[in-house]
Chains A and B, each alone.
Chain A
Amino acid sequence: MTLLEIVNISYLVSAVLFIVGLKRLSSPATARSGNLLAATAMLLAVVITLIDREVLDYIQILSGIVLGSIIGAVFARSIQMTAMPQMVAIFNGLGGAASALVASGEYLKLSSYESIGIEYSFTIALGAFIGSVTLSGSFIAFGKLQGIVTSNAVSSMVVRGSNPILFIALVGMIAGIIIAPENDLLFLSLIITSLVLGILLVMPIGGADMPVVIALLNSYSGMAAAAAGFALDNLLLIISGSLVGASGFILTQIMCDAMNRSIWNVMFGAFGAVTADSSDTNNQVNQAISTTAEDSAIILAYAKSVIFVPGYGLAAAQAQHQVRELATLLQSRGVDVRHAIHPVAGRMPGHMNVLLAEADVPYDQLYSMEDINEDFERTDVAVVVGANDVTNPVSRDVPASPIYGMPILNVDMAKTIIFIKRSLSPGFAGIDNPLFYNPKTRMLFDDARRALTEIVNAIKTL
């Protein structure tokens, strides 16, 4: 068997391991082993590539790998679970950057060839384009999640209007690179324009749409790797990249469905400007009933069943451990406690699940929207911690509302609702939540963490 055959068989084994690994990632019981399997596949692919290429100077490569491993490991160990969306955003960006660099490296090689196949220069240009868009888009997404970049939907006409122009320019540049591959300036402008497009694509997207954006960038990072695979004519890169592309796309679709919006609407439709109709719908009472931690404690302690509804505010206040403490305390008093998780609660897909898991909440107490929605009407108390739009009954009852049709958690069906929130301010969508003024609702105006701690202390003294 030649070395080339051994290498290709090893790549095939790697590809199979990636597929099996991903499959195992789709069940809680096997997920950890699936991740390990995928990591093993990666190690195999790297080792076999190094053997294959008869590397003369291992020092450079190994120092690159060691440096990358140290940085990656430090990140992975030190990151707080609340900051997981930021971490995934950065990693998506780095993956995109690596793909763009690989495409650039291939481009530099081009000049040494006599004749260049069209498909070769095309895939290189494509890899540079997708990689660069992923890079800059991810860093803007990171900036928004971190609060460095303003999180309002900056839907200025300039940004919206310039994207199609940029896109047409990029198509022109890619065509130009196919025709004149030796023009370095053209390649450089392709990368710069792609970076600008990435910034402008993510810039107008608001905070609550972040789960969609992160999932989409995840998909892009896979596609960038696949494009690099085309440029290098490497099947393992193509297979693994497209698997990731597909998985990111599925998540994007799930997130969009959970908001009853199309991906087109999230990316290009401004949101939040439409608030006019909300004032008409609830002019009736507009009197929210506020409560105290002590009163909430009594309501909760004597309830039979309680459902917690966590949202982004839980992550912002780092209150996941307090939720767990309260839940455990209530369970020890015989209360049936569950957690209801909306698909787009938080800033990335599955964000709330990770936070509650970190706080030791067993995953069989976490319920998805479709599994728990019918149970709200038989539930004594629903406690909303830092969620808002995903509980807003307007999306069910008011056809004129911009969020009409978005699936919500039926929190308003519960016998009593405790809303832990800093103020009556509307959520990201800019739409007032009639649930605040529901006679069954008690508003607890406080920071989630402090409020929950006070409730726990109050229950202990009962």
Chain B
Amino acid sequence: MIEGLLVSLFIFILAIFLGFEVISKVPSILHTPLMSGSNAISGIVLIGALIVVVRTDEMLGTVVGIGAVVLATINVVGGFMVTDRMLQMFKKGPSENNP
């Protein structure tokens, strides 16, 4: 088990360094979309919620798991959709659709 944990730790640390590398040069105009987009990615815990629901065999576990599924799905769907809505608005000028 400890060996498995070590592998996970390796990957965890490397992923953090990767994250720093990938994101460190984001221009400030994209800070908000980056935030809501990465927030949607943190909704990956939805996978964890699904695993909890499937593995449980008691009522309380199901309730907790389904609750997690609902909350994580709101996070995922809402996060990606609102990010897309924002990014849609970013236009390089001069734009033609002046009011």
Contact = CB atoms under 8 A, between A and B. Distances in A.
Given A94-B71, A105-B65, A221-B39, A38 B80 contact: yes
A278 interface: no
Interface in B55-69: 55-56, 58, 60-62, 64-69
A32 interface: yes
A358 B90 CA distance: 8
A218 B36 CA distance: 9
B41 A119 contact: no
B51 to A, nearest CB: 6
A76 B81 contact: yes
A236 B47 contact: yes
Interface stretch (A57-65, A374-382, A413-421): A57-65
Interface string A406-433: 0000000000000000000000000000
Interface in A227-260: 228-251, 254
Nearest to A348: B32
Interface string B81-94: 11111111111111
Contacts of A61: 50, 53-54, 66, 69
B61 to A, nearest CB: 5
A28 interface: yes
A50 interface: yes
Interface of B (DSSP majority class): helix
A102 B42 contact: no
A31 B62 contact: no
Nearest to B68: A101
A175 B19 CA distance: 30
Interface string B12-53: 100111111011111111111111111111111111111111
A42 B76 contact: yes
Given A19-B18, A94-B75, A105-B61, A42 B30 contact: no
Contact of B1 (A120, A215, A254, A341): A120
Nearest to B1: A117
Given A108-B60, A243-B38, A362-B92, A19 B22 contact: yes
Contacts of B69: 61, 64-65, 68
Contacts of A350: 28-35
B54 A72 contact: no
A234 B47 CA distance: 9
Contacts of B29: 28, 341, 350, 353, 357, 363, 366, 368
Most A Cβ at <10 Å: residue of B35, B75, B84: B35
A99 B28 contact: no
B74 A71 contact: yes
Nearest to A99: B45
A137 to B, nearest CB: 14
B35 to A, nearest CB: 5
Contact of A73 (B77, B86, B92): B77
Given A25-B33, A79-B82, A222 B38 contact: yes
Given A224-B45, A250-B24, A243 B19 contact: yes
Interface in A315-335: 325, 328
Nearest to A66: B73
Nearest to B50: A49
Contacts of B87: 31-32, 35
B43 A42 contact: yes
A75 B77 CA distance: 10
B48 A228 contact: yes
Interface of A: 18-19, 21-23, 25-28, 31-32, 34-36, 38-39, 42, 45-46, 49-50, 53, 55, 60-61, 64-65, 67-69, 71-73, 75-77, 79, 81, 84, 87-88, 91-92, 94-95, 97-99, 101-102, 104-106, 108-109, 117, 119-120, 214-215, 218, 221-222, 224-226, 228-251, 254, 325, 328, 341, 343, 348-351, 353-354, 357-358, 360-366, 368
The 8 tightest CB contacts between A and B, nearest first, are: A362-B93, A68-B73, A246-B19, A350-B31, A72-B78, A72-B77, A105-B52, A349-B31
Given A109-B56, A350-B35, A360-B98, 16 more contacts: A22-B19, A26-B23, A32-B87, A42-B80, A61-B69, A64-B73, A65-B73, A72-B78, A91-B75, A97-B71, A98-B43, A109-B55, A228-B45, A240-B41, A360-B97, A364-B93
24 contacts: A21-B41, A25-B37, A31-B30, A61-B53, A72-B75, A72-B79, A73-B78, A75-B78, A77-B81, A92-B39, A94-B71, A95-B39, A95-B71, A98-B71, A102-B45, A105-B49, A105-B61, A109-B61, A246-B16, A247-B22, A325-B99, A343-B28, A354-B33, A363-B90
